[in-house]
Amino acid sequence: MSVAATTSTAAVEAGDGGTAPAATTAAATPDDIFSVGDVIRVPLAGGVQYVEVALEKLPEDLEEVQKLLQYEYLPLKYWIQFALAYYRLKKYDQFEMLLKMAASEDTIQALQDHAQGQDGNDGNDDNDDNDAVRPRERIRIQTMLAAYKIKQAINPTLDPTERAEFFAAAEEFLKIADQIENFNPTVHALSTACKGYRTFMQHVTDPHAVKHSHSRGGKSKHSSATFALAEKDFHGALVQMPESEGFLHAELGRAALLFQQGEFSKAEAIYRDVLRRVPSCPAGVRVALGFCFDRLGKHDLALKAMQLSLIHI
């Protein structure tokens, strides 16, 4: 496994709203993008009563979950939580299907109509935590789907045509994210960071590009240009919203770029900072830090980082 592959996995887990794999008995908090608990607590109509759904009891068939989400007109943040739960359970088909259901015109329209019918809520206030279809969640869903396609694209068993199809699918999801609202730094930081991932991952999975990036005399012009483009997206996400959900994507992307360029100490510093700021981040971050330690000759620390990653799986 490479740092690039490890970082891509972390991108799916975190950017998609983020799964902190460590077990917890607490219920999931919909706005906590870095965690999904063992129980998802969702409000029923009226918000007075709640139902708790244990991850271990999530059905293989999505019909029951879909009915709960649709009949109770649950906001998109709950659709995201259920999708993340399936991802955590490695039920990737359900993860993808549920996100696509959430992003469908029928779902969005139904939630908007329901919100407009509620007293005192016209469904258009992006600052209202009870708003069912905030642009932020809609963009997050498209970004999660894009990150998942990037993860599929870097499968080493794929042929170039199959890989290109996955990257093209990721690009389409990111285009949709851009169209959800006129560019707004407060809501587009996550998709901006994911664009950097797409650019970077396309480069490191291209045998021709990788071959030239390691040729004598340093990196090829193509390699340098690609890294510069990816760096621009990562930096843009950080500048737009340094404390937003795009932070984890952007910082991990910058670290992966630095590792690829042989700047292991700088990459190490970023991974350490991510772990300090987000202790619940995906286990892949500790694995990537372990790679940095290994390249720097810090073998004891590398082993410790790898061992800690197992605790957080």
Q: Cα–Cα distances in Å, from 110 out to 64, 72, 106, 277?
A: 18, 11, 6, 38
Q: Is the pLDDT of residue 9 over 80?
A: no
In this structure, the chain runs to a length of: 313
Between CA 85 and CA 10 the distance in angstroms is 15
List helix spans (H) across 117-245. 135-153, 160-179, 185-204, 207-213, 221-240
Ranges 194-198, 217-221, 252-256, most confident: 252-256
Do residues 199 and 230 make contact, with C-beta atoms less than 8 angstroms apart? yes
Gap between the Cα atoms of 32 and 78, Å rounded:
11
- State the Cα torsion 67-69-73-78 to the nearest 10°: 180
168 pLDDT more than 90: yes
Give me the pLDDT at residue 187, please: 59
Share of the chain above pLDDT 70, in %: 64
What distance in Å separates the CA atoms of residue 294 and residue 306, rounded to the nearest whole number?
11
Using the predicted structure, report yes or no on whether residue 128 has a pLDDT greater than 60: no
pLDDT of residue 31: 39
- The mean pLDDT of 196-204, rounded to a whole number, is 74
Better-predicted residue by pLDDT, 239 or 277: 277
Give me the half-sphere count of Cα atoms (radius 13 Å) on the Cβ side of residue 302: 11
How big is the CA angle at 34 (ends 275 and 153), to the nearest 5 degrees? 90
84-112 pLDDT, tens digit per residue, is 999 989 999 999 999 999 999 999 999 88
Q: Which of 298, 49, 18, 46 shows the shortest CA–CA distance to 143?
A: 18
Give residue 281's pLDDT band: very low, low, confident or very high (50, 70, 90). confident
pLDDT tens, residue by residue, 16-51:
433 322 222 234 333 344 456 788 888 886 667 888
Whole-number CA gyration radius for the chain: 20
Encoded tokens for 70: 């649709």
Check residue 211 and give its pLDDT: 42
Cα gap 30→156, rounded to integer Å? 34
**Span 130-155, pLDDT tens digits:** 467 788 889 889 989 998 998 899 88
pLDDT of the residue at 156:
85
Write the DSSP string, 15-74.
Answer: HTS----S--SSEE-TT-TT---SEEEEE-TTSSSEEEEEGGG--SSTHHHHHHHHHTT-
- Mean residue pLDDT of the chain comes to 74
- Could you give the CA distance from residue 124 to residue 113 in angstroms, rounded to a whole number? 11
β-bridge mates for residue 42, sequence order: 51
Window from 144-153, 207-216, 270-279, 280-289 with minimum mean pLDDT: 207-216
Asked whether residue 308 carries a pLDDT value surpassing 60, the answer given is: yes
What is the distance between the alpha carbons of residues 105 and 185, in angstroms, rounded to a whole number? Answer: 24
The DSSP element (H or E) to which 295 belongs, if any, is: helix 284-295
| Residue spans per domain, the chain | 1-16+136-313, 38-133
Is residue 239 over pLDDT 70? no
When pLDDT is cut at 50, 70 and 90, the band that residue 81 belongs to is: very high
Lowest mean pLDDT among 116-125, 170-179, 245-254, 274-283: 116-125
What the block records as the tokens of 129 is: 């935590």
Secondary structure class of 191 (helix, strand, coil): helix
Which CATH fold would you assign to the domain 1-16+136-313? 1.25.40
Is 288's pLDDT higher than 70?
yes
Give exposure, 7-23, as e/b (b: 16+ Cβ within 10 Å).
bbbbbbbbbbbbbbbee
